[in-house]
């Protein structure tokens, strides 16, 4: 965990080496690689002059397993198995001049964050930008942060978590055009199926959206280890 690594960093003088197999992006990509004092070396089994031939053959026998080969053979970042969303990439920008932008608002407080995401469709692809993702926000705080994100009262439509009708009513009182989302039967899986139809572009500054995408997985049967058509809560 980054919190533990960070405590080691501040107690270490000289050079720090971080050695890992890039199974998926993690805190190194978020906190370390973009620092000016960081040097990055991508190495593979072919750089190991001491490797026995039989180990080299064993590694190369996995070439048909694309994700495994990318990580352990080529040394490039792979993806965790069982992810709900795989067809996504990071982008430098959110499109301008789009006719319709949807604003999704989820309420939280102590443990779960309140969060806002802005979403649009352009050229048949889905574009996502994080507005905020914070714990301890009152409805007044949410209203202020939405204005700071450029949303306009009475103009931008906000689709919110329908489980909090009082919060929706309070934000309406502040002048926001807001309504609760309509949830039908099996709404989570239905929503996933809709989103999976698109290529998803997430702005690079949407750090919490990216973290959620990297960790949102299907449940796994404990006996067979097969993935179920049920997303983790």
| Secondary structure percentages of the chain, helix, strand, coil, to 5 | 30, 20, 50
For residue 45, the SS3 value is: helix
Predicted local distance difference test score (pLDDT) of residue 199? 94
Predicted local distance difference test score (pLDDT) of residue 58? 93
Predicted local distance difference test score (pLDDT) of residue 111? 87
Predicted local distance difference test score (pLDDT) of residue 174? 96
Give the distance, in angstroms, between the CA of residue 143 and the centroid of all CA atoms in the same chain: 24
Predicted local distance difference test score (pLDDT) of residue 74? 92
pTM of the entire structure?
0.71
Predicted local distance difference test score (pLDDT) of residue 115? 97
Please report, in tens digits, the pLDDT of each residue of the chain (233 residues total).
888 999 999 999 989 999 998 877 788 988 898 899 999 999 999 999 999 999 999 999 989 888 789 888 999 887 777 889 988 999 999 999 888 899 999 999 988 999 999 999 999 999 999 999 999 999 999 999 999 999 999 999 999 999 999 999 999 999 999 999 988 888 888 999 999 999 999 999 999 999 899 889 989 888 887 888 888 87
Opening angle at CA 159, ends 173 and 165, nearest 5:
50
Name, in order, each residue with C-beta under 8 angstroms of 92's C-beta and a sequence gap of 6 or more. 203, 204
Predicted local distance difference test score (pLDDT) of residue 203? 96
Q: Which long-range contacts (CB under 8 A, 24 or more apart) does 46-55 make?
A: none
What is residue 119's DSSP assignment?
E
Which of 95, 84, 85 lies closest to 120, judged by CA?
95
């Amino acid at each position: 965990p980054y919190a533990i690594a960070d405590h080691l960093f501040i107690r270490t003088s000289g050079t720090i080496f971080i050695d890992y197999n890039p199974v998926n992006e993690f805190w190194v990509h978020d906190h370390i690689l973009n620092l000016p004092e960081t040097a990055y070396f991508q190495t593979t089994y072919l750089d190991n002059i001491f490797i026995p031939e039989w180990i080299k053959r064993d590694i190369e026998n996995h070439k048909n397993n694309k994700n495994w080969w990318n990580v352990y053979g080529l040394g490039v970042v792979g993806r965790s198995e069982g992810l709900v969303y795989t067809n996504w990439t990071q982008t430098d920008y959110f499109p301008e001049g789009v006719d319709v932008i949807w604003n999704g608002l989820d309420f939280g407080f102590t443990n779960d964050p309140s969060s806002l995401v802005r979403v649009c469709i352009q050229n048949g692809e889905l574009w996502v930008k994080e507005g905020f993702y914070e714990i301890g926000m009152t409805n007044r705080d949410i209203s202020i942060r939405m204005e700071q994100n450029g949303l306009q009262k009475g103009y931008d439509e906000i689709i919110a978590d329908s489980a909090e009708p009082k919060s929706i009513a309070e934000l309406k009182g502040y002048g926001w055009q807001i309504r609760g989302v309509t949830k039908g039967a099996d709404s989570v899986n239905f929503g996933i199926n809709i989103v999976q139809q698109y290529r998803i572009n997430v702005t690079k500054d949407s750090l919490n959206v990216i973290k959620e995408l990297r960790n949102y997985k299907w449940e796994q049967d404990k006996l067979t280890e097969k993935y179920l058509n049920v997303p983790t809560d």
